[in-house]
Amino acid sequence: MGRQKYFTPAEVAAHNTAADLWVSFLGKVCDLSPLIDQYEGHALLLPILEFAGMDISSWFDSETEDVLRHVDPETNCSRYYTPRGRFVHVPPLGPRSDWATDLGPPWWRDGRYEVGLLSSQTRWIRVINTLTSQEQRLQVCSEETLAEILQRYLRYNGHAHSYTWKYDGVTLDMSQTLCENNVRIDDLEPQQLQHDQFSPALLLHFNDDLTEG
């Protein structure tokens, strides 16, 4: 299997409707659209719909990767802690005739919903085509290799494979990340990172072979 795809928080946030609903938690990105379809109209979807496109790591215990628990003050029993309201696959407080116990893994443990990983740090770069002088600003994931960043750039230039990528006069290793290629911005202040003048510029030099794909 290949590497899992990384997503920026902005990409996750774009999937914020009932028909196309993503969330992130504990570093994972999940597409819950099939779950929404399955439980359409059910009140247990409300907390999930409220947080469509957002990070819900605060719902979970990072060590157990399960929903947070607390001791119920009325029963003195350990229960799932859901201050936003009980949601799909969280069992009710007491025995219920309408609650199935053979549901399989809950959605937060079900790998079928996972579509990739959430980037721990995103950064802005400028990709400049030296042949046409066109410049494109991209938000990328720090974990991505240059080859994966190239895939992001293909929407703007379908011939991106026909260029040699360079930074500061040095040809970049497309199998490595920006950091591994010494394209660093770690010493900048957070408020500077989105300004074009502080975004590193990657220069594309045409190879004259029109290779695509």
96 and 128 share a domain?
A: no
20 and 69 share a domain?
A: yes
Q: Measured between alpha carbons, how far is 114 from 22 in angstroms, rounded to an integer?
A: 9
Q: Measured between alpha carbons, how far is 17 from 51 in angstroms, rounded to an integer?
A: 10
Tell which residue, 102, 86, 103, 106, has the closest CA to residue 94: 86
3-state secondary structure 71-104: ECCCCCCEEECCCCCCCCCCCCCCCCCCCCCCCC
Host domain of residue 77: 6-118
Q: Measured between alpha carbons, how far is 93 from 77 in angstroms, rounded to an integer?
A: 10
Instruction: Enumerate residues 6+ apart whose C-beta is below 8 A from 27.
Output: 117, 118, 120
76 and 102 share a domain?
A: yes
98 and 127 share a domain?
A: no
36 and 128 share a domain?
A: no
Give the model's pLDDT for residue 197.
61
Report if residue 58 sits inside a domain. Answer: yes
33 and 17 share a domain?
A: yes
Reading the block at residue 82, the tokens are: 């859901």
Bridge partners (DSSP) of residue 190 are none
Domain boundary among 84, 118, 152: 118
CATH number at residue 202: 3.10.20.90
Q: What is the pLDDT of residues 31-76, one digit of tens each?
A: 999 999 999 999 999 999 999 999 999 999 999 999 999 998 878 8
Q: What is the pLDDT of residues 86-127, one digit of tens each?
A: 999 998 876 666 666 667 899 999 999 999 999 999 999 999
**pLDDT: is 125 or 213 the higher one?**
125
Report if residue 26 sits inside a domain. Answer: yes
Domain boundary among 118, 146, 164: 118
Mean of pLDDT values over 13-21:
98
107 and 128 share a domain?
A: no
Q: Measured between alpha carbons, how far is 166 from 169 in angstroms, rounded to an integer?
A: 6
154 and 96 share a domain?
A: no
